[in-house]
Structure 1
Amino acid sequence: MKVKILYFSSLKDRIKKSQEVMDIPEGTTVSSLINVLKNTYPELEKNFDSVMVAVNEEYASAEQILKEGDTVAIIPPVSGG
């Protein structure tokens, strides 16, 4: 099944893209998707440890199961003031 992944802030800058469509197996959880991203972008593995994830514009738990056509936003921590 296909999901759309949106990248923000420093992640977007480091991987040089703001979004991509990824084909993942049925039953994939948010946590499993993060592991796939760690394998896809090994140079950013530690960056994915502290991200917030939203699915279809609502914050998601690690156990949430993704569905065909979901939009997953990967949001790194933001600092500053």
Structure 2
Amino acid sequence: MKIEVMMFAAAKESVGSDRITLELEQPATSGSLMEQLGQIHPGLKPLLPSCRLAVDDQYVPDDFPLGSHHEIALIPPVSGG
């Protein structure tokens, strides 16, 4: 199953794009997506524990089931100043 993930801020800088597409085996969960992101983009690995995954504009737990129809965004921590 193909999943497109929108990237923001430090995650976007790390992967060099505002969107990436991954191929996930079914059944896929938000946790398996995060794990694969770290494997495919090692620069993201240190950032991932602080990131949240949003599916259809809602933060989701690691066991949330994913489908190719979902809008998915990787939300890194926000830094202020």
**TM-score under structure 2 length normalisation:** 0.90
Cα distance between partner residues in 2 of 1:46 and 1:10: 11
Aligned partner of residue 46 in structure 1, secondary structure: coil
Partner of 1:40: 40
Paired positions, count:
81
Cα distance between partner residues in 1 of 2:38 and 2:3: 17
Once the 2 structures are TM-superposed, how far is the Cα of residue 68 of structure 1 from its aligned partner?
2.1
Once the 2 structures are TM-superposed, how far is the Cα of residue 21 of structure 1 from its aligned partner?
2.0
Partner of 2:8: 8
Cα deviation 1:2-58 (Å, max 9, x = unaligned)? 111000011101211000222211111111110000001112211011101101111
Q: Once the two structures are aligned, what percentage of the paired residues are identical?
A: 28
Question: Aligned-pair RMSD on alpha carbons?
Answer: 1.1
Contact 2:4 2:21 in 1 (8 A): yes
Partner of 2:68: 68
Contact 1:4 1:69 in 2 (8 A): no
Contact 1:7 1:74 in 2 (8 A): yes
Partner of 1:30: 30
**TM-score under structure 1 length normalisation:** 0.90
Gaps of at least 5 residues in structure 1 are none
Gaps of at least 5 residues in structure 2 are none
Partner of 2:56: 56
Where in structure 1 do 4 or more consecutive aligned residues deviate above 2 Å? Answer: none
Amino acid at match of 1:29: T
